[in-house]
Amino acid sequence: MRRVLCYGDSNTWGYDPVTKERFDPDIRWTAVLSGVLGSEYTIIEEGLNGRTTVWDDPIEGYKNGPDYLIPCLETHRPLDLVNIILGTNDLKKLFGLSASDIAEGAGLLVRVVQGSMAGVNGNAPRVLLIAPAPVARLTDLAEMFEGAESKSRRFAEHYGRVAEAAGCDFLDASTTIVSSSLDGIHLEASEHCKLGRAVAAKVNQLIG
């Protein structure tokens, strides 16, 4: 049995930009991933609304990626692979970060996994770093995420650089999915399906 952890934010949790509630479990990209990979895989969904890569949110709190990642790895080990898809919330104006800064934050999470003993036989799990889809035209969240659109279009470049430096695997989600035009941030059901299939193809390539 292969065990894959998906560590992300509201798009992994399953926030629906249409209803503003949570997608049913079978709609989320993690469920699509599980369905494509089949019964030989256990997919562990760890999505949190508002989660950042490494930054403390002074308003929402408890959103810092590393704070939960370490106990999460210990909780779910042994793991064959950890998918990390974070960075969209780092685009909030209050953080004042560049796309490069955000990618470096994601790289720290990669190193946390690589330095752990949460894999098989006490080794580190393999890591797949996923660059989130760029932000689309913002609506209600425009002020909170001012400047996010242009920054997010550089995610693939910087995440790819960080992944190469860390020696981990990389997937650019922008080649497969787009953010919803309803709020500019979240994924609609069709994009969850596409992302799940794209990640499944990558997982099969890496550990299948």
Residues 148, 152, 153, 158: is their CA dihedral positive or negative?
positive
How remote is the C-alpha of 189 from its chain's centroid?
Answer: 16
Residue 140: the pLDDT is 82
CA angle 145, 128, 63 (to 5 degrees): 40
Mean pLDDT for all residues in the chain: 97
CB contact at 8 A, 128 and 170: yes
Structure tokens at 150: 């242009």
Residue 22: the pLDDT is 98
On the 0-12 / 13-18 / 19+ scale of CB atoms within 10 A, 133 is buried
In single-letter form, the type of residue at position 134 comes to P
For the chain, list the domains and their CATH numbers. 2-207 (3.40.50.1110)
Residue with tokens 């997608």: 23
- pLDDT at 34 > cutoff 90: yes
- pLDDT at 138 > cutoff 90: no
Rounded mean pLDDT, 15-39: 98
Residue 177: the pLDDT is 98
Residue 190: the pLDDT is 98
Rounded mean pLDDT, 78-104: 98
CB contact at 8 A, 200 and 207: no
Residue 208: the pLDDT is 81
CA angle 184, 188, 86 (to 5 degrees): 65
- pLDDT at 146 > cutoff 90: yes
pLDDT tens-digit readout, 162-183: 999 999 999 999 999 999 999 9
Residue 151: the pLDDT is 97
pLDDT tens-digit readout, 64-87: 999 999 999 999 999 999 999 999
HSE at residue 81, side-chain half, CA atoms within 13 A, is 23
Q: Is 15 helix (H, G, I), strand (E, B) or coil?
A: strand
Rounded mean pLDDT, 135-146: 89
